[in-house]
Amino acid sequence: MGAVFKFTEEQEMIRKAAREFAEAEIAPYAAEWDSKDICPVELWPMLGEVGATGTFVPEAYGGVGLGHVERAIFIEEISRYSAGLGIALMTHHLAIEAILRFGSEEQKNKYLPILCSGEKIGGLSVTEPGGGSDFAGQAASAEKIDSGWVLNGRKCFITNAGIADINVIICKTGEDEKGRGILSAFIVETGTEGLKPGRHENKLGLRGSITGDVILDNCKIGDDAIIGKDGDGAKIGMGAIGEVGRAGMTAICVGILRACCEDAVKFAKERIVAGKPISKYQAIQFEIADIRTDYEAAKALLYTAASIKDEGKPATTAFAVAKYFATEAAVRGAKRCMDAMGGYGIVNEYAVGRYLRDALASIPSGGTSHIQKLIIAGDTLKNF
């Protein structure tokens, strides 16, 4: 397919392996995970074996030692068939990113190998009922006591809620002189007293990933559970979401756009109307051309942003642009694919309805399009 971004030979081999894995282990089951809203946790060790869980983690901590371009390839290939599994995997990476970038040597040695192997599942809890867009307004608290910390509060819309073993949770530890919350990040293992699962959302899309509440009810953890130091929570949480989270959501939507391209082409070649395949009609060709154009543009934005991150340069704006474009483009792409299929587009036997639902559900996750536009506008007003 298109050659907008030049991949290395090794990256092409990773894509081939990831695609074979997705075709064998994901494609046959994706519709069932969606309809029953089941997250296939039993796949985690296999995801570990193929290198999808620890792609960007150095080998010293049990990872594959590659980068964010390769991570995006895995998520794109998996999301081509199951965007729900795509977001569950991408959120697992958020816990990894927080510990890898800011954790102590002890924390890295303790948690990264088991997260990379797929023995354990990770999650990141930031959002609260008070509004996910208001990152600084978090109310869940962490109070210092002699033996460590006591956490209280409720996180909502958390991916992998109830299935994650290793939860990175952002809490407020105080207020600065201007009354703004001081945030810190903690590792809370499932099984810790006071860490409770809450409600699970019955979502429109990205089903097959679990989204729900994480409740902290006098949850006591040791001093060794804090990541970095008191007050580092904003940079840890925003760092993980701003780059790794938005990269993940972009890769999911690139996968959805490829699915729309492939399904639209297949349907258009097979469907005969008035004696010829609808692929011969210019109206259908235009739908396919528009899906393809969005797919290529989203893919170029994704892999360009991921390579900026791999060079160690700030990529927040590049990921905001990529995430905003790709999530909205995936909605357009699924609608166009549906339009090209006529009445069949709304029949659940076809996957396109799921693509549309998954694309719509991708918009708020990792920050809404409005929030991406605020980031993009802020950067543009400063630098242009």
Ligand X SMILES: Cc1cc2nc3c(=O)[nH]c(=O)nc-3n(C[C@H](O)[C@H](O)[C@H](O)COP(=O)(O)OP(=O)(O)OC[C@H]3O[C@@H](n4cnc5c(N)ncnc54)[C@H](O)[C@@H]3O)c2cc1C
Q: Which is nearer to ligand X, 87 or 288 (CB)?
A: 87
Q: Which is nearer to ligand X, 278 or 360 (CB)?
A: 360
Q: Output the smallest distance, CB 155 to ligand X, in A.
A: 6
Q: Which is nearer to ligand X, 2 or 137 (CB)?
A: 137
Residue 65: Cβ within 10 Å count: 15
Q: Which is nearer to ligand X, 152 or 307 (CB)?
A: 152
Residues 6+ apart with CB under 8 A from 157: 127, 132, 201, 211, 212, 364, 365
Q: Which is nearer to ligand X, 206 or 351 (CB)?
A: 206
Q: Which is nearer to ligand X, 183 or 284 (CB)?
A: 183
Q: Output the smallest distance, CB 265 to ligand X, in A.
A: 29
Q: Output the smallest distance, CB 151 to ligand X, in A.
A: 15
Query: Which two structure tokens, joined as six digits, stand for 185?
Result: 């990040």
Q: Output the smallest distance, CB 93 to ligand X, in A.
A: 11
Q: Output the smallest distance, CB 28 to ligand X, in A.
A: 24
On whether the CB atoms of residues 169 and 214 are closer than 8 A, the answer is yes
**In the 3-class helix/strand/coil scheme, how is 184-245 assigned residue by residue?**
EEEEEECCCCCEEEEEECCCCCCCCCCEEEEEEEEEEEEHHHEECCCCCHHHHHHHHHHHHH
* Nearest in space to 47 (alpha carbons), one of 75, 28, 67: 75
Residues 6+ apart with CB under 8 A from 51: 14, 64, 66, 74
Q: Which is nearer to ligand X, 30 or 361 (CB)?
A: 361
Q: Output the smallest distance, CB 329 to ligand X, in A.
A: 18
Residue 49: Cβ within 10 Å count: 12
* Nearest in space to 366 (alpha carbons), one of 261, 182, 208, 211: 211
Q: Output the smallest distance, CB 323 to ligand X, in A.
A: 12
Residue 199: Cβ within 10 Å count: 13
Q: Which is nearer to ligand X, 93 or 292 (CB)?
A: 93
Query: Which two structure tokens, joined as six digits, stand for 145?
Result: 């006591």
Q: In which region does residue 137 sit, left (phi positive, over 0), alpha (psi from -120 to 50) or beta (all else)?
A: alpha
- The Cα–Cα gap between 330 and 295 comes to 8
CA triplet 8, 9, 12: central angle to 5 degrees?
A: 90
* Residue 154: strand, helix, or coil: strand
Q: Output the smallest distance, CB 275 to ligand X, in A.
A: 44
| Residue matched to tokens 């046959």 | 28
Amino acid at residue number 32: E
Name the residue whose CB lies closest to ligand X.
Answer: 132
Q: Output the smallest distance, CB 162 to ligand X, in A.
A: 12
Q: Which is nearer to ligand X, 35 or 133 (CB)?
A: 133
Binding site for ligand X (CB under 6 A): 91, 124-127, 131-133, 157-159, 206, 211, 361, 364-368, 370-371, 374
